[in-house]
Amino acid sequence: MSEQIVKPLGLAHVRVTVTDIHRSKAFYEQLFGTAPAMDFSEHIDEPGITEDRERLYGGAIFPVGEQLFGLRPVAPSGQRFDPNTVGLDHVSFVVGSVDELHAAAERLDAAGIEHGEVTDLGDAGMVILSVQDPDDINLELAAQK
């Protein structure tokens, strides 16, 4: 029997755990400039919703190119993300141009959302805009130079 090798072609989806689905959904709507493709957040107070996979645990899913980015509202209130523990460090989303990074910064400014500067990473060949989500998860919008 020959050895089978798994060669991933990309990510199907990423889902992050959040403390407040309404706050997080509003933040990501501002960040992405779009509403979720699927949204069960209005059911968050229903019994059993946070265990119901078919209803996304009471969360929401945003389209990100060919992939999906989801929010799962099961973290205890007041808990904060820590990139220095085992698990996720940050999530980086590719955008089409540096101009889109500047447009995103303007949209975030208009919404009163703090963010970093549009930053050229030099030899890495990319320019990024960093922002913390409401649970302190570090996010990047990244464009090729």
**Per the structure block, which two tokens stand in for 108?**
């975030």
- Domain at 90-145, CATH homologous superfamily: 2,3-Dihydroxybiphenyl 1,2-Dioxygenase, domain 1 (3.10.180.10)
DSSP annotation string for 50-96: GG-GGGGGG-EEEEETTEEEEEE--SPTT----TTSSS---EEEE-S
pLDDT digits (tens, 9 = 90+) for 100-115: 999 999 999 999 999 9
pLDDT, position 46: 95
Q: Do residues 115 and 133 touch, judged by C-beta distance below 8 A?
A: no
User: What confidence tens digit (pLDDT) does each residue in 45-98 have?
Assistant: 999 999 999 999 999 999 999 899 999 999 999 999 999 988 899 999 999 999
CATH number of 9-76: 3.30.720.120
Domain layout of the chain by residue ranges? 9-76, 90-145
Q: Tell me, what's the pLDDT at 10?
A: 80
CATH topology agreement for domains 9-76 and 90-145: no
The pLDDT of residue 2: 61
**Among residues of the chain, what percentage have pLDDT more than 90?**
83
pLDDT for 38 equals 96
